[in-house]
Amino acid sequence: LSSSALSSEACVLDLLQTALARSPGPWLELRLHDRRARSILVEDGTLEAARVTRHCGVGVRAFVDGAWGFASTSELDLPAVLRAIDAATKAAAAAARGRRAKAASPTSCAFPAGTWQSPARVPLSSMSLADKIALVHQTDAAVKTAGTRITSSSCKYSELIDEKWIATSDGARVHVVDTKPELRVQAVAERDGELQSCVEAAGHTGGFGDLFARRSAEEMALRAAQTATDLLRAGYVDGGKQKVILAPDVVGLLVHEAIGHTVEADFVLAGSAAAGKLGQTVASELVTLCDSGHSEYVPGAGGVVLVDDEGVAAQKVTIIERGILKSYLHNRETAAHFGVAPTGNARAFEFDNEPLVRMRNTYIEPGSTALADIIADTDEGWLLAGAKNGQADANAEFMFVVGEAYPVKNGKLGALHRGTTITGNAFDVLKSVDRVGNHFAWDLGSGYCGKGQPAKVDAGGPHLRCTAVLAGGQGTDDAGDSK
């Protein structure tokens, strides 16, 4: 196939079907993934990097004698695909010789057919490259001119345009089209040699109508500049166990990092903290936690996956229902192991990555309490926002970093304090949830989740009140030694 011939869906599926027909015997999965990506980075008024990338090829998985083999090729002709099938089959056979027991073969299921295209409001193709570069320049300039303390600014726009064809020897034949744009704005403010920075970011599935549905690029620029400036005179958080109100982006980080990873069925099989707990109470009864390939409540979530990379239609999975652990997240292999249906959570980042069990859009369902009422009802604690990064452990101990902390005293919200790190045991924290807000937002769609390979995910929910451990910052040294 020439590069331009990829526009013909039938032509690509013919190639994959012919390759499958000539390779009887092993279970095979062929996935042709053509990814075109653009990114534009402007820093301090200068275009630092703009690039177009195209990463295209076929990934082949073979299942032979209870073991998996994988091979990939960037050549898109039949002989190259047949060579990759042969390499994957031989790799699987080599793995089988090293195993003590056979792995569960992928469970059978009904496959979606035809073309599945993620919804997009104002498609990315509606703006020229020159206009996208101009937008990034304008946004960077908006940061720089937003205040006298701003010493450095940057803005990065990036987009992933994906087209995939998946065919398996047990009947999957599907074509998937998806676009995911992202905008990140950074402001650095300085006073007396001290530097503070703030990043505002949005990442969605769809088009510009989705990327800027909640706020414009200029609004993001102004907030980044204001927050970085305010942080220069902000105080530090008191360390220790505290009552906290988590904003939707921090809720997203909590459910993704602290719970979501422990219910990925491959982690469960390795002995994660969620192993053996199906049917048990693991959270407050106010908590219902889900992972969905679709964008529930608000359109444009960044982790939309209509059909996963095993060709399975993505389901909405209720992981925790009113505090009770109900389900794990599965691919076709773990579904076979647990005797359940696959949930559409098998994802591969690019053609040369093997599909793994991954989250998509993970969230807590909204409750009934307004944020103002949660604050008014809190004697002492912190409202935390500005989720940065996080990690979780096998024992459900998590840590994540937030960029903004606001004290709550006697039902009143105080001024911005510097960010901090939160830790705790995820299930203990979810059991401590005693208020669930009524306003839902997706707010974790920029950036990537890492698990050997990246994945675009999103997460969110309403505001939550719970108890967690905060790291103290400078100025709280007198918190002292408790030995």
Stretch that binds another protein, among 188-196, 287-295, 313-321, 322-330 (CB under 8 A): 188-196
The interaxial angle of helices 129-144 and 217-231, nearest 10 deg, is 30
Residues of this chain, 291-330, that bind another protein according to CB under 8 A: none
**Calpha distance 458→445 (Å, rounded):** 4
Q: Which is it for strands 150-168 and 27-43: parallel, antiparallel or unpaired?
A: antiparallel
Site for another protein in 345-364 (CB under 8 A): 352, 354
Count of other CB atoms within 10 angstroms of residue 3: 10
How many beta carbons lie within 10 A of that of residue 316, not counting itself?
14
Task: Kindly indicate which of the ranges 14-22, 171-179, 195-203, 315-323 contains the residues binding another protein, using the contact rule CB under 8 A.
Answer: 195-203
How many residues form the binding site for another protein (CB under 8 A)? 90
Residues of span 400-429 touching another protein by CB under 8 A: 401, 420-421, 423-425
Helix-then-strand count for the chain, H and E: 10, 24
Q: Which of 10, 21, 24, 130 binds another protein (CB under 8 A)?
A: 130
Report the C-alpha gap between 283 and 464 in whole angstroms.
13
C-beta of 196 vs 327, nearer to another protein: 196
Nearer to another protein, 49 or 376 (CB): 49
Tokens encoding 13: 């599926």
Residue type, 44: D
Rule CB under 8 A: say whether 479 interacts with another protein. Answer: yes
For residue 384, give the nearest of 374, 397, 394 by alpha carbon.
374
Q: Are 317 and 360 in contact, with CB atoms under 8 Å apart? A: no
Structure tokens given for 307: 């059909």
Query: Which residue has tokens 């773990």?
Result: 334
Q: Which listed residue (78, 87, 127, 278) binds another protein by CB under 8 A?
A: 87
Question: Whole-angstrom Cα distance, residue 44 to residue 154?
Answer: 6
Q: Of 138-167, which residues contact another protein (CB under 8 A)?
A: 151-152
Residues 11, 25, 54, 65: which binds another protein (CB under 8 A)?
54
Tally the residues of the chain. 483
CA distance linking residue 338 with residue 288, whole number of Å: 22
Residue list 22-51, contact with another protein (CB under 8 A): 43-44, 46-47, 49-51
Q: What is the nearest approach in angstroms of another protein to the Cβ of residue 72?
A: 5
Backbone phi, then psi, for 285, in 5-degree steps? -70, -5
294 vs 358, beta carbon nearer another protein: 358
- Site for another protein contains 232 (CB under 8 A): no
Query: Binder to another protein among 8, 105, 108, 389 (CB under 8 A)?
Result: 389
Position among 15, 67, 255, 329 found at the interface with another protein (CB under 8 A): 67
**Nearer residue to another protein within complex by CB, 267 or 440:** 267
Which parts of 233-292 interact with another protein (CB under 8 A)? Answer: 239-241, 266-267, 269-273
Choosing from 11, 18, 79, 99, the residue that interacts with another protein (CB under 8 A) is 99
* Among 100, 279, 339, 379, contact with another protein (rule: CB under 8 A): 100
Nearest approach in angstroms of CB 265 to another protein is 10
Task: Check: CB of residue 394 under 8 Å from CB of residue 272.
Answer: yes
